[in-house]
């Protein structure tokens, strides 16, 4: 695998999509798995790119410890490093229907006032 940095600058979402269209087909694009990453992976695969998702706990060991605070550039470098590892395990990309089910659960209002604060904090009671 020819792993190299193509560009090192921040792009807005709409400019990122336009930039990805210009990439050669089959180019590997690695993303850290999160709620929106499945949408982006499906979109990038539609452009003919090899979009892969990496679970956050597999990316964490590649963050440069002691090199400053956690930020987007450090995260991007860690994702690139993790994606080049030969035995990296990737997260399967969820289909739109499964993503919709997950977002339905996220938008469900709390049943009681006791559940309101943990729901805002993203924890469970």
* Both structure tokens of 69: 């605070």
User: Residue 107 — very low, low, confident or very high, per pLDDT cuts 50/70/90?
Assistant: low
The three-state secondary structure class of 117 is helix
The gap between the terminal CA atoms of the chain, to the nearest Å, is: 46
Q: How many CB atoms neighbour CB 119 within 10 A?
A: 16
Residue 122, phi-psi category: left (phi > 0), alpha (psi -120 to 50), beta (remainder): left
- pTM comes to 0.70
User: Residue 109 — very low, low, confident or very high, per pLDDT cuts 50/70/90?
Assistant: low
List, for residues 32-58, the tens digit of each pLDDT value: 998 788 889 999 999 999 999 999 889
Stronger pLDDT, 64 or 106, i.e. the higher one: 64
User: Residue 71 — very low, low, confident or very high, per pLDDT cuts 50/70/90?
Assistant: confident
Decide: residue 88, CB within 10 A, 0-12 exposed, 13-18 middle, 19+ buried. middle
């Amino acid at each position: 695998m020819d792993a190299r940095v193509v560009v090192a600058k921040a792009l807005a979402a709409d400019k990122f999509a336009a930039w990805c269209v210009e990439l050669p087909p089959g180019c590997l694009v690695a993303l850290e798995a999160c709620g929106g990453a499945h949408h982006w992976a499906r979109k990038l695969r539609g452009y003919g790119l090899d979009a892969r998702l990496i679970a956050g706990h597999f990316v964490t060991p590649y963050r440069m410890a002691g090199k400053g605070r956690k930020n987007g550039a450090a995260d991007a470098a860690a994702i690139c490093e993790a994606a080049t590892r030969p035995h990296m395990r990737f997260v399967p990309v969820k289909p739109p229907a499964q993503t919709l089910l997950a977002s339905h659960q996220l938008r469900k209002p709390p049943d009681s006032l006791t559940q309101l604060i943990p729901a805002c904090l993203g924890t469970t009671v």
